[in-house]
Amino acid sequence: MKLVVAIVRPEKVNDVLEALYKAEVRGLTISRVQGHGGETDEVQTYRGTTVKMELHEKVRFEIGVSDSFVAPTVRAIMSAARTGEVGDGKIFVLPVEKVYRIRTGEEDTAAVTPVA
């Protein structure tokens, strides 16, 4: 079992969701985050105060998958989220020791396979 954590642009979320859907990845969790990377800082002004926004809006995907699904998941995200410009984000693959489905108590691969 692995946990795939991906940081992507907010405007790419729908594309990524669609790509994951096609890749038959059904379970995922997302959250709004802010990131800093190589993006050019954007300048804002409030009355006389000028500020550099170092952080950019991003969306974080967290997807628990069985080992065989890691590659397709990464591939789906990679192609759907890419614009080629700085700021496209990162994907991290983390090892997972155990997964449980709260509803049934099922474990590991069974826990992430959708029931028909």
Partner 1 sequence: MRNLRLLGALAVGAGSVALAQDPELSAADTAWMLVATGLVLLMTPALAFFYGGLVRSKSALNTMMMSFVALGFVGVAWALVGYSISLSPGGNDFIGDLRFAFLNGVSLENKGAVAAITIPHLLWMAFQGTFCIITAALVSGSIVERMRFPAYLLFMTLWSVAVYAPLAKWVWGGGFLADLGAWDFAGGTVVHINAGISGLVAALVLGTRKDFGRQAILPHNVPFVLLGAALLWFGWFGFNAGSAWGASQSASIAFVNTMLAPAAALVVWALLDLTRTGKVTAVGVATAIVVGLVVITPAAGYVSATSALLMGAIGAFPSYFAMLWRARSKLDDSLDVFAGHGIGGMTGAILTGVFGQKVIAGVEVGYFNGLLAGNPQQVLIQAFAVLIAVGYSALMTFILLKLVGVITPLRASAKDEATGMDVTQHGEEGYTSGEGAILVLESGEPRGKPAAAKS
Residues that bind ligand ADP (CB under 6 A): 7, 27-29, 35-39, 56, 58, 62-64, 86-90, 101, 103, 112
Name which of its own copies, ligand ADP, partner 1, none residue 40 binds, using a CB cut-off of 5 to 8 Å depending on partner kind.
none
31 burial via Cβ count (<10 Å: 0-12, 13-18, 19+): exposed
CB 59 within 8 Å of CB 30: yes
Return the sign of the alpha-carbon dihedral for residues 3, 100, 112, 32: negative
Residue numbers of the site for partner 1 (CB under 8 A)? 9-11, 13-14, 17-18, 21-22, 24, 30, 32, 34, 36, 41-55, 59
Three-class secondary structure of residue 67 per DSSP: helix
Q: In angstroms, what is the minimal distance from the CB of 114 to partner 1?
A: 13
Name the residue nearer to partner 1 (CB basis): 31 or 95: 31
68 forms part of the interface with its own copies (CB under 8 A)? no
Of the candidates 55, 93, 66, the one whose C-alpha atom is nearest the C-alpha of residue 77 is 93
Q: In angstroms, what is the minimal distance from the CB of 22 to its own copies?
A: 14
Name which of ligand ADP, partner 1, its own copies, none residue 68 binds, using a CB cut-off of 5 to 8 Å depending on partner kind.
none
Place of tokens 């642009």: 9
